[in-house]
Structure 1
Amino acid sequence: MTPIHVVGIGLDGLAGLGATIQDLIFRATLWVGSDRPLSYLPDRPIPRLGLGDISEIVDPVKDHIQSHPDPLVIIFASGDPLFFGLGRFLLEVFPRDWLTFHPHYSAAQLAFSRLKVPWQDAVVLSGHGRSLEPLIQTLQRGAEKIAIYTDAHQSLGEIARLYQSLGLPVTYQAWLCENLGGDKERLEMIDLRDSEPLQPLSPLNILILLRQPQVLDPANGQDPSLPLLGLGEQEFYGFPDRPGLMTKREVRVLILAELGLSADVAVVWDIGAGTGSVSIEIARLLPNAQVYAIEKTAMGEQLIRKNCDRHRIQTITAIRGTAPAVFAQLPAPDRVFLGGSGGYLDAILPEAWSRLCPGGVLVMAFTTLEHQGRVLDWCQGMNQQPQVLQINLGRSIPLGPYTRLEPLNPVSLIRVVKPMSRMGFSI
């Protein structure tokens, strides 16, 4: 038998353990644990070693094993010791063949069970002595289900402020789950829009976030308090599982500037329109222009239409199709924005350029060096001088008592103006 058995135990104490594990516990030569699990044990002549600073138990346990003729050490842990527990540390300081693990229910398992939510696809994170950086990335990806083990140093207030600062286009329902499996068990929905939401009463708690369907108020489309340009991502319907695909507000503003919109612009093409956020910004600035939002996916087309309804815009035509095949059915544009090529960049460029009106502007957004290089080569072949704008931006987010900049994905904007001949025709 291995000399060390790590036993997960819940708030129901010994009653929650099977007979085999209880028999193992009462045959032990040393009990190791924090005050809570040790308090569940009856008064027996078995030595006890308190678990405070975990590193301080290593030498006493080794000494016990080496000095006892038939050692059996029981180390008590909360829930599953190999799930954000002390199991990882024990595997680093003791030989692997010394250890046997007996897991109990984890807090995440109990929480999702209480909420009656399948959790095989959940993202489980820990804030115990850890940075909230993984939570930032998980929220930005739009994970459907998130479980966060919190502690006194990662308060719900800090998580709420972080959640608010990210300006997510999706929302989450939050559940505070405490003392799971015990007499004082509590599950309560909290609002992360509050800077100081309901705080836990017990250090034994876990926060569950469940992504909600987007429901936006159509009346806000006429809200005079909305900015003239640079709408936040939360003002648009987006891809729930990929909120990062929406063009960020700051980048959108620079795209509008590079397009050089003016009152005489009558037709605009938005190629690879995604959710239609750029098209809607253009339509709000140019109410008399006709905008054609070209998107190859059915989901994207649906989102464009929903966002037009949301903002009460009727001058955008959502076109489901693949560029450049759909160009033939469209009027010649004064401005073209290329936000996505769908793998047809080499075919789109000459077709869009040939249809662009003389004096018109073509703006392209790229995140990869390969696409940038292909466009610059095309410009050189067309004897055109592009203007390249490299965008590297960061948004401030709170991290505990500090504030740091969370970088947005770098984007390159390439702007090309179609020249006019002296006779008024393009060169």
Structure 2
Amino acid sequence: MKKKLYIIGAGTGAEDFLTQRALKLMESCDVIYSTAHRFLSDSRRKVIECPVTEIPKLIEVSEGQNIALLVSGDTGFFSIAGSLSDKLENKVDIEVVCGISSLQYFCSKTGNSYENIKVVSLHGREKNILGQISYNPKVFVLTGGENRAHTICKSLSDGGLTEIKAIIGENLSMPEERIISGTVKELAGYTFDNLAVMLLENPNYVNCHIPLRDEDFQRGKVPMTKEEIRAITLAKLAIEPSDIVFDIGAGTGSVAVEMARRAFDGSVYAIEKNPEAMELIYKNRVKLGAYNVKVVSGTAPDIFEELPVPDRAFIGGSSGNMADIVGRLTEINPGIHIVANTITLESLNDAINSFQENGFETEVVCINSSVSKKVGRYHMMNANNPVYIITGKKVHKEDKIL
């Protein structure tokens, strides 16, 4: 007969916030394990603390037939319950018992509803928070490890979002509970414990689903990719929300800002060597709320060594280094997806050759667009320069239609 394991959401830690179902099951269990010392530290019940990695072995050798395992918060909210269930499903009969999440508790304590809050976990994860707070009015963050609440506040403040409002709670439901509010700039000067949560509010958030018009950007004398070309370029790039994207030869940043809206859970690195263009990118980043755009001064491909591995890359300007850029991008990520825009036939030829030499399936689209202009009581069409959009994609066998 298999042992019975109850994986129980222990809530925020205090026994008062365990459900009645959880309490009854614990009374009937032969042994109770916990993944953290803070759970039921004031309880009369004997709770055995154990590291997560040792749980499968402890349950296997346990003499108890009915076993309770307490895990942090709610079993369905960024919980280890799922991975533990997968590891143990063939060894014991498992029942998962939900608990009260830190989100529920914290919003109740601070008087917030949470149906429209974006939830992000930075506990033991590498994730970019700048995009989430740029494109959502409220973001709830689970912190921990290197991503403490005060370090997140500092990164937001350093990223230009100094006036974002934050409420931070630590040691929730425990005697030493602390909840404090202020701007991220103010709270960056505090120190918070490892297990803390935070609610960020951005009244100036941007709707990332709305496309931008050319007149939305500050331009100066730097060339800019027109909005009709941007729309097709973005469609060819097929950016995923969590992608890391390079904009090589970023110019005014028009494509970078639009890409940042698509990669709202990732980052866009706008690579530019022209100081005037870099200044425009900074201005457009702030004006249009695209704080997950990171402006990088340098020349491709040399600057790639300092940056993370990209999932997508857009080449708006290569300065004659097309072959080196495509070759280096392929070395960094053999499965990378690249789109290049060119105007001259020579640059078109360079792009096609570079893509094909690096094993990309290549597609070329030539866009001849005209935009109406009012002249008196008439409208006339003004033609833009033809633009070649070259897409390079590594096609896997499973992607091909047989």
Aligned to 1:155: 148
Number of paired residues?
257
Extract unaligned runs of 5+ from structure 1: 214-238, 247-271, 286-334, 342-363, 373-388, 398-402, 417-427
Aligned to 2:59: 61
Distance in 2 between residues matched to 1:174 and 1:30, nearest whole Å = 41
1:119 and 1:145 in contact (8 A); partners too: no
Distance in 1 between residues matched to 2:7 and 2:148, nearest whole Å = 29
Secondary structure of 1:193's partner? helix
Residue identity matched to 1:205: A
CA deviation after TM superposition for structure 1 residue 107, in Å: 0.8
Distance in 2 between residues matched to 1:244 and 1:404, nearest whole Å = 28
Aligned to 1:344: none
Distance in 1 between residues matched to 2:113 and 2:15, nearest whole Å = 28
Secondary structure of 1:206's partner? strand
Q: 1:106 aligns with which of 101, 114, 139?
A: 101
Distance in 2 between residues matched to 1:127 and 1:13, nearest whole Å = 23
CA deviation after TM superposition for structure 1 residue 390, in Å: 5.3
Percent identical pairs in the alignment equals 15
2:133 and 2:200 in contact (8 A); partners too: no
Are residue 187 (structure 1) and residue 217 (structure 2) matched? no
Residue identity matched to 1:5: Y
CA deviation after TM superposition for structure 1 residue 5, in Å: 0.9
Distance in 2 between residues matched to 1:24 and 1:369, nearest whole Å = 53
- Residue pairs, 1:46-85, within 5 angstroms: 49-51=48-50, 53-64=51-62, 67-68=63-64, 71-85=65-79
Distance in 1 between residues matched to 2:83 and 2:313, nearest whole Å = 36
2:270 and 2:295 in contact (8 A); partners too: no
Structure 1 residues 336 and 54 mapped into 2: Cα distance closer, same or farther (>3 Å)? closer
Distance in 1 between residues matched to 2:59 and 2:225, nearest whole Å = 65
Residue identity matched to 2:152: I
CA deviation after TM superposition for structure 1 residue 77, in Å: 1.8
Q: Which has the larger radius of gyration?
A: 1
TM-align CA RMSD: 3.9
Distance in 1 between residues matched to 2:100 and 2:122, nearest whole Å = 19
Secondary structure of 2:180's partner? strand
Structure 1 residues 197 and 108 mapped into 2: Cα distance closer, same or farther (>3 Å)? farther
Structure 1 residues 195 and 58 mapped into 2: Cα distance closer, same or farther (>3 Å)? same
CA deviation after TM superposition for structure 1 residue 93, in Å: 1.5
- Residue pairs, 1:3-402, within 5 angstroms: 3-11=4-12, 13-33=14-34, 34-42=36-44, 49-51=48-50, 53-64=51-62, 67-68=63-64, 71-95=65-89, 98-133=93-128, 135-140=129-134, 142-167=135-160, 172-193=164-185, 196-200=188-192, 202-213=193-204, 240-242=206-208, 272-273=213-214, 276-278=216-218, 281-282=219-220, 339-341=226-228, 368=233, 391=250, 393-394=270-271, 395=294
Q: What is the CA deviation profile of residues 173-214 of structure 1, one whole-angstrom value per residue up to 9, with x for unaligned ones?
A: 1111123233333221133235933222x433101111214x
Q: What is the CA deviation profile of residues 311-354 of structure 1, one whole-angstrom value per residue up to 9, with x for unaligned ones?
A: xxxxxxxxxxxxxxxxxxxxxxxx9977324xxxxxxxxxxxxx
Structure 1 residues 203 and 366 mapped into 2: Cα distance closer, same or farther (>3 Å)? closer
2:14 and 2:40 in contact (8 A); partners too: no
CA deviation after TM superposition for structure 1 residue 22, in Å: 2.2
Q: What is the CA deviation profile of residues 346-403 of structure 1, one whole-angstrom value per residue up to 9, with x for unaligned ones?
A: xxxxxxxxxxxxxxxxxx756618899xxxxxxxxxxxxxxxx954734369xxxxx8
Aligned to 2:319: none
TM-score by length of 1: 0.50
Structure 1 residues 396 and 157 mapped into 2: Cα distance closer, same or farther (>3 Å)? farther
